[in-house]
Structures are given as structure tokens and as C-alpha cells.
A and B are shown apart, each in its own frame.
Chain A
Amino acid sequence: MIQINEEKIEWRDGMTVRDAMNEVKYSFPLVIVSVNGKVIEQKHLDKHIINDNDKIKVFHLISGG
């Protein structure tokens, strides 16, 4: 199990940060993402592999026209 913001989702081998974000439909581009408190750069979201029990925080900036 991993946690992404308030939600808990199943972990699978080789899962990237982006995979986890896709699972909870976090498609907004202006986000600040950290894994276990460490900020992950935007360009690494597609490649950064997460481990079981990791805590991902996806901080969304303000949107709205």
C-alpha cells in the first residue's frame, strides 16, 4: 500500500510517481510532488520509482480561469 495525499492505493513493482498520480487521476500540471518528504522534480515524475509504503504528497497550486 502507498499513500497519495489522503488516498491509499495498491503498490506494484516498478510503479513510478506518475503511475500513482494517474491512478487517482491527478492530471493538473501545476503540482509540487514529494515522496517521503523529498521534493521530486517535475522532469523526474515519469521515472522516479516508488517503494511499497511510500508516502506521496501532491500539492496542487491554485487553478480556476
Chain B
Amino acid sequence: MIEITINKRKISVEEGTTILAAAESLGIKIPALCNHNILKPYGACRMCVVEVHANGEKEITTSCNYEIHEPIAVFTDSEEALNTRRGVIEMHLARWPNVPAIKALAKANGVDKPRYEHPLKNESKNACVLCGRCVRVCSEGIWEDIITFAGRGAERKVSMPFDKFYERCAGCGACAWVCPTGAIQVTNEANHPVRPKMIRNWGMKVTSQMITLDDQQCRMRKIGTGNLVEIMDDYDLLPTLNYQYGSHENAKKINSWVWQNEYFTQGLPDGCWYGCSMSCAHAIEKFELKTGPYKGRKVLVDGPEYETIAACGSNIGNFDPHYVAELNFYCDTYGIDTISFGTALAFAMECYENGVITKEHTGGLELTFGNKEAACEVLHQMSRGEGFGMILGKGIRNMKKLFIEEYGADLDFVEDIGMENKGLEFSEYVTKESLAQQGGYCMTNKGAQHDEAWLIFMDQVNNQIPTFENKADALHYFPMFRTWFGLVGLCKLPWNDISPADNAQTDEPHKIPEHVEGYCKYFTGMTGIELDSDKLIRMSEKVYNFQRVFNLRLGYGTREHDRVPYRAMGPVTNTEYESRQERYDKQLKEKVGIDPESMSTDEKRLKLREYREDQYRQLQDAVYKRRGWTSDGVPKLETLKKLGIDFPEVVEVVKRYPDV
């Protein structure tokens, strides 16, 4: 810390702080025009000049870009500083006499009217004052250079290349938002929103947060969701070897820094959503393929994202980033989901390692964990509808049936380790230590995925939802909230992959209230219909219950279909138990109330299982009650009525079940 004085008031600042920022923290306002809190200091307008005394020398200098590296004395309103500032303001006023921002600065600093006529006088009140905020936000904030300064001296102006409209401009409006004079305005609202300003203001709020906070938070713009690899590994949540474990010593070989430093080549905003300031998708260029029909060709790989890294990496024991990218490319090319592929392959590999299937079934493929070449071959076979690839392509649910009925597999073992619910393969999180997340995965309408609710930290790390009722509340709110994104077709990442700087001070920081409100504003701005967070949840509840009834009509949607494969609940094998023995023993002692000392691993594992399965049953009771469903998971008539969806066809479906 460095001690300085500003107008003789002492303040301690971190080295590198600007004078302008230090003055602000003391409540001393220094006039500035080109400065903006989301942009880097620029020093263009020169209005923020102050007098600085350092090492016995005195100078008049701009305060916005003066970094403090030694003890100094600053005078913001000394006669010399004021005279210089007034001179600068006078020049601005002479050239742009009717711009409100300039007039206000002139008035506040005692500049009446200019003493001379400016040869470039522009009398428009929306004149461009060449502060450069728009040019800088386009470059620094949006990572584009669509507008820039053109011309020199008197000819200097803001322009697109060759003075023509540049079609790369997505119309994000960031330039207009930072413009202090209104020289840039959005006039063509292509989608005809009812209240465009409401949308833009919220959009820019998120963009501002991306620009200023993302580097310290999730690095979405640099690496995207891949930032989670090492984090999940640290918390024992990274699926490894078909969800047996949550971390691996080789995880570092596929962590985010490997992708950022050695693979991703495009530091550009991607085309996922034109103009999006989060730009979380990333790509590998000139990637030379080692297998398959395009072997030897150099291609562009779109990704990988976290889920792909875990599914086609750690979960199948593959810690070679090249092969993660290779599987990513071919899944994309063949139109196969990387999550379902990886999770299904992880299951098949564990079956192979346990003798459930052999080379006879795999057509000679050595399907051990980590066999990356075999992984690629299965994928190529799947695309051709051949061999074991054809079997894997049918998914875990069908594989389990086949292995049990045709290959004589042990039903219990296969059911325990086959990570699917309602026929959908699990996405890539280990849920063993979070009961709420087990519910998040399986008390769902569309099967095992984390899109509806991700509650692991709330449950496992924060211990924020300790009771069944607390968990049930979370398993009501979050699935409803996240269903809403699907209803309106909006991306959910700006909700929780960037967090406002003052989020900690809110009542419910885990919900990121400012961003929930922002989504409501977005909806209202677009449609004109007022929306708040309660109404938002109600909108989703209707759809969510409809979906449940739809499932029932197709023969799913009751309690039995919300079953969790035991691997998602706890250790299936003794090896798994022993790998986290300290944790499990402690739970037996503290939660189950038995002394594990003299028990064998088999006995302990089964006791833990009994306890955890019972916990899940109790959670089901609480969740169904909270959602207004029967104990079999069927929406009650009163729930359908309350939501206004008690149409005859709907009622007919649920009436077949008891207690509705």
C-alpha cells in the first residue's frame, strides 16, 4: 500500500491505483468525459487534469491514467489545475456548444462561454466529441473493431471501414450505451421489442460485468465452460472411470489451462450468438485427425466444452487432450451427443473390465478404460451402424437389457453402474455426496441432466439446504426457473456464469437476484407483459406439469421412473468405498449412528446403501409434496386447477392414478 494525499487528505492505496479512482474513493469528484468505469483509462479529453507533487517536482497531468507508484500529493482544484481544465473545457465548448454533457461540465467548472470562435464548430446537441468510448468498448469490451477513428486532425471521426456499413456489426449497441452525447443511437430495432431501452440497459449491464469481472470469475471469454475441469476435480466431482471417483491425478492433463494455452487458437467472440459478450464457445484450428474417414486432414474443432472434456476424457479414463478433441470432432460430425456417447462408453468399459462383456461381444475391441483408439473406433462403427458401435449407439438403457437378457450379466451390478434415468445418459457430475443433486438429476421430466437444477454446492459445500423440505424447495424453484430459459429460448449462462460485484450483499445470493430481475426485464421489454420472479416460476410450473402429464401419458412419469442408479448415490463396489473410506466411515458414525470399526467393507457399504436409499425415498416424498403431486409423483387435480391447466384431456390422464 502507498500513502498519498489528495487535497491534503490522507489515503492508502494499492500500487497501480489511478489518481481518479483514489479520489473517487474519498468522495472527491474530478470531471472526466472520455473515462468510463468499464473501459481502460485513455486520457483523451484531458478534463481530469490535476496538480501532482512528486519527488519535489510539480506537474499538471491527467488523473484517469496516472498510476500511483510512490507517495505523492495531489491537488484536484489548485489554481493551475483549474485553469488548465477550464481551458480544455472552453475548447470543447467552442467546438460543440450545444452538447448537454459539455455544457454541464462548463457550468460546473465556471466556464461561461468560449472567448473565441472555433473553426470546426458543430452546433448539434448530439455531436460526436471524439472521446473514443465507443471505439474502445467495441475493441476492449466486445472484442471487435467494427468502428474506429478515421482521418487525422480536423478530419478525425468515428467510422466503420471505408465509411460503409460493416456487416460484422451485430447491433449489440454497446457503443451507443457508452456514448456520452447520443452521437450514436440505435434506430433500427429489428425484432420490434415493445420497450427496447429496457432490454438494452439490462444487456449492457451484463456486458459491463463480462468486461470487468469475467477474468477474475469464470474466464468464460477465454476458456468457456472448460474452466470447470480442475474445479470439479478439486471438489471430487469430476466423473472418472464411469463415475466411480470424482478426481484423478491425470486430470491436470486435460484441465482448462491445457486447452487455453495449447489448443484453443481463436481468441475471438464465436458465432454461437452473434454479438454475445460472453462468447463462451472456443475452437481449435488446423487440428490434424488421427483416425476415421478424415484421418490426416486438418480440421476445425468446435470446442470442447466441460461436459465433453469430462465425458470423452476423465469418465472413460482418457487423459489425452488430442483424443478428447478427436472424439469431440467426430461426435459433432456424425451428429452424436458427446455426453451420451462418453457416458455410454464409460458404462461399456466398466462392463468390459468386469467381464460382463468380452472381446467376443465387442468384435475384438479391447474396451478398457483409457483405450482412446478403441473409443474412436466404437464411434466410427456407430456412425456406420456396425459392430459394437451399433450396440453402444442404442444407449445405456438398451445395453443393460441386452447384457442382462442375452449376455447373462448380473442384473443388480449392471443396473447399479448404468448411469441413465428415463433412458437419458447422465451428464458429467458426481452426485454421490449431494442428495439434492440426485433429485436434480432424476426427479426430472427429461431424464438425467443438470439443466434443471445444479444444487451440489448449495447442498454439499454450503450445507445451505439441510432438511428434506429445504431440498424440496430448491428442487421446486430451480427446475422451474431453469425450465423458463427453454420456454423463452434464452441462454442461461449470463444468469450464473457471471455474477454482479455486489451480489454478496443480496438476500439470496445463490439465486443471483439482479440477473433474475434482468431476465424478467428482458421478457417485459420484448413483449410488454409485466413479469416478476413469482410470475416467471408460475409460467414454468404450468409447462413443467404439462410435461409430467405428457410423460404419464406415454407410460412414464411416476415414482419408479425417478429411480437413481446406485452409482449416483454411493459406492457400488468395495474398491470405491475404500477409496473414500474416511468420508464414508464418518457418515456411518455421525449420520447412521453405527460404529464402523469392527465391520467389513461389505457390511459398511451395504449399511451406507440402506441409509442413502432411504434418504432418497424421503426426498421423493418431500419433493412430490412441494410440487403438488401425489406420493407416486403424479400431479394432483388441485395442482392442475391452480395452474389453470385442468383441461379434460389432462385430467383424464391423471385420474387413472390413485390419490390425485
Which A residues fall within an 8 A CB radius of B? Answer: 5-6, 25-30, 32, 39, 42, 58-65
Q: Which residues of A contact B234 (CB under 8 A)?
A: 25-28
In the complex, how many angstroms separate the beta carbon of A19 from the nearest chain B beta carbon?
15
**Interface check B305, CB cutoff 8 A:** yes
Q: Which of B154-162, B167-175, B265-273, B453-461 contacts A (4 or more CB under 8 A)?
A: B453-461
19 of the cross-chain contacts (CB-CB < 8 Å) are A5-B463, A26-B461, A27-B231, A28-B457, A30-B218, A30-B499, A32-B503, A39-B505, A61-B496, A61-B503, A61-B509, A62-B454, A63-B228, A63-B457, A64-B228, A64-B429, A64-B450, A65-B228, A65-B307
Report B471 CB to chain A, min CB distance, Å.
14
Q: Which residues of A contact B455 (CB under 8 A)?
A: 62
A34 to B427, CA, bound (A): 32
Within 8 A of A (CB), among B482-511: 496, 499, 503-505, 509-510
Whether B306 contacts A65 by the Cβ 8 Å rule is yes
Q: How far is the CA of A56 from the CA of B478 in the complex (A)?
A: 27
Contact B461 A5 (CB under 8 A): yes
The dominant DSSP class at the B interface is helix
The answer to whether B456 touches A64, judged by C-beta atoms less than 8 angstroms apart, is yes
Please, which residue of chain B has its CB at the minimum distance from the CB of A42? Answer: B216
Contact B230 A60 (CB under 8 A): no
Once the chains are docked, how many angstroms separate the CA of A63 from the CA of B226?
12
With beta carbons under 8 angstroms apart, the residue of B216, B225, B510 that contacts A61 is B510
Cβ-closest chain B residue relative to A59: B462
Closest residue on chain A to residue B464 by CB atoms: A59
Chain B contact residue count (CB 8 A cutoff)? 33
Given A61-B510, A63-B454, A64-B454, 4 other A-B residues pairs in contact with their CB atoms under 8 A: A6-B463, A59-B464, A60-B461, A65-B454
Enumerate chain B interface residues (CB-CB to A < 8 A): 216-218, 225, 228, 230-231, 234-235, 305-307, 427, 429, 450, 454-458, 461-464, 478, 496, 499, 503-505, 509-510, 512
Task: Flag if A28 contacts B231 (CB, 8 Å).
Answer: yes
User: Who on chain B is nearest to A33 by CB?
Assistant: B504
Q: Which residue of chain B is the closest to A30 with respect to CB atoms? A: B499
Q: B496, A65: Cβ atoms under 8 Å?
A: no
Min CB gap A10→B, angstroms: 17
CA distance A26 to B230 in the complex (A): 11
A62 touches B458 (CB 8 A): yes
Residues of A within 8 A of B216 (CB): 29, 42
The complex places the Cα of A26 from the Cα of B228 at a distance, in Å, of: 12
- B14 to chain A: closest residue by CB: A43
- CA gap between A26 and B454 in the complex, in Å: 18
Contacts of B230 in A (CB 8 A): 27
* Interface pair A59/B463, CB less than 8 Å apart: no
**Which of A27, A32, A64 has the most CB atoms of chain B within a 10 A radius of its CB?**
A64
